[in-house]
A and B are shown apart, each in its own frame.
Chain A
Amino acid sequence: QSALTQPASVSGSPGQSITISCTGTSSDIGSSNLVAWYQQHPGKVPTLMIYEGGRRPSGVSNRFSGSRSGNTASLTISGLQAEDEAAYHCISYTTNRGWVFGGGTELTVL
């Protein structure tokens, strides 16, 4: 099972919107909506931002949204803020009944 493909880095200015992609195959992202996104600040435990492809846990800002099309999932952050600067990881269920992560994306707020 290969890791999902994410861009190594993305950047944006405060107030702008950015989108992070997560590309897999028909054996993972393309097989179900069981996709999640995690935010991780340096030295911290990952925090769930999106689950089931597009649902937000209570307490997560509505500036964060998720979607899925075919074998690709996406995380969009609107109204970028300095506190959004972090690493973002996608994870998907696989048809092997396991899970697979993406390589992670570093977001820089300029």
Chain B
Amino acid sequence: QLQLQESGPGVVKPSETLSLTCTVSGGSINNENYYWEWIRQPPGEGLEWIGNVYYTGSTYYSPSLKSRVSISIDTSKNLFSLNLSSMTAADTAIYYCVTHRRGSSWHGPWGQGTLVTVSS
């Protein structure tokens, strides 16, 4: 049973870069059957898909965030990471790491989520 756990800072200053890590347990991240993705949810709002990474390192990003986002994978450590630059208050959100079955609309399991607040 795959389990995902986010880690990273709870507070980021405006204009800085957010770096989050998702550690995967219960299975290998080096698996052709899954994509590994980041989804976020501002307080009181809906969900937003940020992007994903495949075990090969190939990535796909939301067009609205593409200029600021980078997702990478480390198969040796069984984790993947999110970098989001030029953070503003609008980026304050719960950030979830999620796994997604290739060729399916089944997104899950999800991590518990981590709240990131942008504040000076």
**Are A101 and B49 within 8 A (Cβ)?**
yes
The residue in chain A whose Cβ has the minimal distance to the Cβ of B35 is A99
CB contacts (< 8 Å) of B34 on chain A: these are none
**Are B104 and A52 within 8 A (Cβ)?**
yes
The residue in chain A whose Cβ has the minimal distance to the Cβ of B64 is A1
Q: Does B96 contact A (CB under 8 A)?
A: yes
Interface residues on B, range: 20 to 34
CB contacts (< 8 Å) of B52 on chain A: these are 98-99
Q: How far is the CA of A94 from the CA of B25 in the complex (A)?
A: 29
Q: How far is the CA of A81 from the CA of B113 in the complex (A)?
A: 28
**Are A89 and B106 within 8 A (Cβ)?**
no
Interface residues on A, range: 20 to 34
The interface stretch among B14-22, B55-63, B74-82, B85-93 is: B55-63
Q: Does A104 contact B (CB under 8 A)?
A: yes
**Are B105 and A103 within 8 A (Cβ)?**
no
**Are A89 and B62 within 8 A (Cβ)?**
no
CB contacts (< 8 Å) of B37 on chain A: these are 99
**Are A3 and B46 within 8 A (Cβ)?**
yes
CB contacts (< 8 Å) of B46 on chain A: these are 3, 87, 89, 101-104
CB contacts (< 8 Å) of B105 on chain A: these are 33-36, 51-53, 91-93
Q: What are 7 A-B pairs with beta-carbon distances under 8 A?
A: A1-B64, A34-B104, A45-B113, A87-B46, A89-B46, A99-B107, A104-B46
Q: Interface of B with A (CB < 8 Å)?
A: 37, 39, 45-49, 51-52, 60-64, 96, 104-108, 110-113
